[in-house]
Amino acid sequence: MVRRTFLFAVLFFAGTVLSAFASGFAYAHALPDGVTVSIQPVKNNLSADDKVLIKLTYTNHGAEEVRLLKWATGLEGRIDEDILSIWFEEQELEYRGRHFKRAAPTAQDYVVLSEGQYVSKTVDLQLSYEIELAGSYRINWRADLELAANEQTSRQVLAQKGTNLVLLDNIYLQPLSGITSQTPTYQNCSIDQAAEIRASVVVAESYARTARDSLSGAPLSKRPTARRYKEWFGNYDAGRWAIVQNHFNQIYSALATRTINFDCGCNLGYYAYVTKSDHYNITVCNAFWSASRTGTDSKAGTIIHELSHFTVVANTDDIEDSSGTYYGQSRSRLLAIIDPSSAIRHADGHEYFAENSPPLDMPNGADDPGNPDPGPEPEPVPVPEPVIPSFLAAIYALLFSEEKAR
């Protein structure tokens, strides 16, 4: 079964709503006088297929009958306005629910509560707020928090306070509907493994974006001297540069817009493997878990390496010859020297260019700083590729051979 979830510890605050008016301000989500709201989880322990459900209960403690507008309460079965203030660590989550243009409310849009009467509704929290990462969440009724902040102190400080907290352990959340960016799915992965993969995907996306931008942002006249490009892909050629740039466009797009499935069931001593036509499915193996998240031969770099293999991404290979596969930094550098046309198809070269460890410069800025619009540049004349005698290449390979099974 594919595990598509993260471990959550969610903290819910059962709040009491204050007056609807204070210091001349009216709060859109304030409730009628005498009405309070409580927020409670439906289940304390959720399985992988459960939704994140909370129960909203509105009680009339006043002596008079009140009319409660359903729109800003969740009583229609879904939270369709930003009525909750949800905090994860020190960040308030963004409301991502529906936004309506409504006509004037009619009698059917209200619920009537007599003295002592209450009404409850269960809603799916994930349909309206971006709850994704493992950790503790605090939930307040927004109007309550805004009113208190107006009278006392900052909303962030208030959001971190409070009692009456209910802790939910071992919650497994499904991916957010319609959200694919950096939202992997998992098979045969533990909670800790899934969390580490997710963090590594975030780094990989940053690596890919930086690599893409460094290629597209390099001025034409400075590309023949770009150290970082030359290190992994050889001497400059406009056609080869364009191919590599397109590869990183596709790698970044895959990380930013595609759901990638990770299988943690491999016990071999490799980093990871893929089938080129089985798009966006990556199997990670033992060496992946001992790698650092960043740097040379990292988890993030491995993800870029494997993504580049897919035919719909960059269709790279693990280039080899009679002396073996060009795995590792030293062998990848050698390939860039002796065969740039193969280097631009080499998966390890793409990984090392993205990781950039140790760091190498890429040119940036305008070709002519004194002219903000220099116009089209003539295509530079390619630098001739050096001819390396085969016996020297063989000696280099023996001296600097590295094995890194993928």
Catalytic residues: 306
Q: Which amino acid is at 392?
A: L
Whether omega before 340 lies within 30 degrees of 0, making that bond cis, reads no
Contact present, 15 and 141 (Cβ < 8 Å): yes
Residue 160 CB contacts under 8 Å (≥ 6 apart), including other chains:
87, 90, 138
| Cα–Cα dist 299/334, whole Å | 24
Q: Is 67 left (phi over 0), alpha (psi -120 to 50) or beta?
A: beta
Burial profile 299-323: b = 16 or more Cβ within 10 angstroms, e = fewer: bbbbbbbbbbbbeebbebebbeeee
| Cα–Cα dist 117/286, whole Å | 59
Q: Which amino acid is at 33?
A: D
| Cα–Cα dist 304/299, whole Å | 9
| Cα–Cα dist 219/222, whole Å | 5
| Cα–Cα dist 243/220, whole Å | 15
Could you give the strand order of the β-sheet that contains 2-3, starting from the edge strand earlier in sequence?
2-3, 185-187, 261-263, 281-284, 272-273
- Distance between the two ends of the chain, CA-based, in angstroms? 25
Label the pairing between strands 7-13 and 137-141: parallel
For residue 398, which phi and psi values (nearest 5 degrees)?
-70, -35
Return the closest-CA partner of residue 211 out of 387, 357, 321: 357
| Cα–Cα dist 103/59, whole Å | 27
Return the closest-CA partner of residue 203 out of 351, 403, 317: 351
Q: Is 360 exposed, middle or buried (0-12, 13-18, 19+ CB in 10 A)?
A: middle
